[in-house]
Structure 1
Amino acid sequence: MIKLSQRLQTIADRVTPGSRVADIGSDHALLPVYLVQSGRSPGAIAGELNTGPFQAAQKQVASAGLKSAITVRQGNGLAVLEAGEADTVTIAGMGGVLMAEILEWGAQNGKLSDVKELVLQPNVGEDVVRQWLTNHGWLLQGETILEEDGRFYEVLHAQRTDDFARANEALYDPAFLRRDAQEVELWRGWLYRMGPYSLRSPSPLLHRKWAFELQKLERITAQVASSDQPEAIVKAEEFRKEIREIQEVLACTPTDRPSFN
């Protein structure tokens, strides 16, 4: 059986057993091959835009002897998928803005009408993806932070739910951060950025990731503050405010996980 990286294995582990999967931006089709080889999925679609990775995916599927179970298609985003072909869509390794654009196009063109589950791994812009899910009838079921080869990744697992509005309101309620009512929208924004599950049940990896982000922000702030230009002074203060807010959010994370149902 093919061996996956920690990042791809984390994605694979979130796929509901028995699901037909469409892996968008599949690269070498490692994830679909593993899902079928392991028996987790009866079949899969590997979609890839660029010719090189598309051809590599074809070779990978053929060498695994899975051409009857995995279809490799070349196309842009969810254009490779027809309605009713997949229960689960996986998208990994791209920015959150692009990921949300792919999902939005898919939603508008009926590609997600029968999809029950999304497993998403944005490289950056996780807040954009979480906001898209909230706005389109999806409920985040869980999120995982992992570190691999010196980089931090987040894997988001979402499913459709009839009661998504109430459930999302509870999920993104910042009351557990002990902020007053006037700051609700500000701290809700940090739940989207840092993760509602991650902040309710903070792990060492959450603090490692954001300690790294704070170091980057402090370096950038020092560089900007070295200029005496008025716009640089304003920008430096904006960065300082962001640093203070991150520190305050982390300081307010609970030691015991509260219920939000």
Structure 2
Amino acid sequence: MIKLSKRLQQIADLVPNGARLADIGSDHALLPVHLAERGMIAFAVAGEVNEGPLRAASKQVCEAGLTERIDVRLGDGLAVIRPGEVDVITIAGMGGALIVSILSAGLPKLEGVRTLILQPNVGEEAVRRWLVDHGWFLAKEHILEEDGKIYEILTAMRVPNAEKANVELYAPRQLAPSVTASPDRLLQMGPYLLEQASDTFIHKWLLELEKMERICAQLALSEAEASRRKEAELREYIAETEDILTCLQKAKR
């Protein structure tokens, strides 16, 4: 049986039992094969846009004896599925901008889909904003570290009154008398992740602060007015982020 990485195992654990799954950018079809071997899914489409990964996925499915349960298809994004064919879609290991592009281009294919499980490598904020803009409710968030990389996994669902639910989810959060996590901040950092404030989450944002400090140092070398303004904006952002992290760490103690 297929053994998954920590990241893929977390995604597998989020797939509802009996799902009709489309795994977009399936690579070696590890996720659908793992789930099918354990009887966790009714059917799966493993989609790939490139011939090489498609062949690897087909070989994996064939060797597992799952050709009747997993259909490996060549195509760009959601072009590999038909409207109403699946009820769960997983897209993992891509940038947030690409995930948003795939979802936007395939909007008609989301008919009948109840759950999206999305794991952007970067650009998580763009994915959260797309979900809000298109009437999806972010139901869960997970964060984990594997092999020196930090991953966020976003699970979104179709729910009644999604617009109202999203307003409540991203409502400003008072962390201290002078510190508020704004809706924009919650979209950037993740509403559930901020609330949980796990060690991995804190570590991620400390690393982000280090990156921003390096950018500020580079901007400081320039005499251009635009660089001055950008540095000032970043300094303000850094200070706000530090205040939020300080509040979260105090709350944990």
TM-score (norm 2): 0.94
Which whole-Å CA distance do the structure 1 matches of 2:228 and 2:132 have between them?
36
The offset of 1:97, in angstroms, is: 1.2
Aligned partner of 1:77 in structure 2 is 77
Quick one: which of 174, 177, 180 aligns to 1:176? 174
- Aligned 1:1-150 pairs, distance under 5 A: 1-107=1-107, 110-150=108-148
Gap change, CA 1:79 and 1:209, over 3 Å in 2: same
Q: CA RMSD in A?
A: 1.7
CA distance in 1, matches of 2:98, 2:236: 28
Amino acid at match of 1:124: V
Aligned residue for 1:255, secondary structure, equals helix
Q: Which has the larger share of strand? A: 2
In the TM superposition, residue 235 of structure 1 has moved relative to its aligned partner by 2.1
Unaligned ranges ≥5, structure 2: none
Matches within 5 A, 1:149-160: 149-160=147-158
Equivalent pair of 1:137/1:165 in contact (CA under 8 Å): yes
C-alpha displacement of 1:252:
3.5
Count, aligned residues: 251
> Do 1:49 and 1:74's aligned partners in 2 also have CA atoms closer than 8 Å?
yes
- Structure 2 partner of 1:232: 227
Q: Which runs of 5+ in 1 are unaligned?
A: 257-261
Decide which moves more: 233-242 or 210-219: 233-242
TM-score by length of 1: 0.91
Distance 1:48 1:204, change over 3 A: same
- Higher mean C-alpha deviation, range 16-25 or range 170-179: 170-179
- Tell me, in whole angstroms, the C-alpha distance in 2 between the residues paired with 1:178 and 1:106: 42
Distance 1:82 1:15 in 2: 20
* CA distance in 2 between partners of 1:218 and 1:151 (Å): 20
What SS class does the counterpart of residue 161 from structure 1 fall into?
A: coil
Distance 2:237 2:220 in 1: 15
Give the residue type in structure 1 aligned to 2:198: S
Output the CA distance in 2 between the equivalents of 1:39 and 1:177: 44
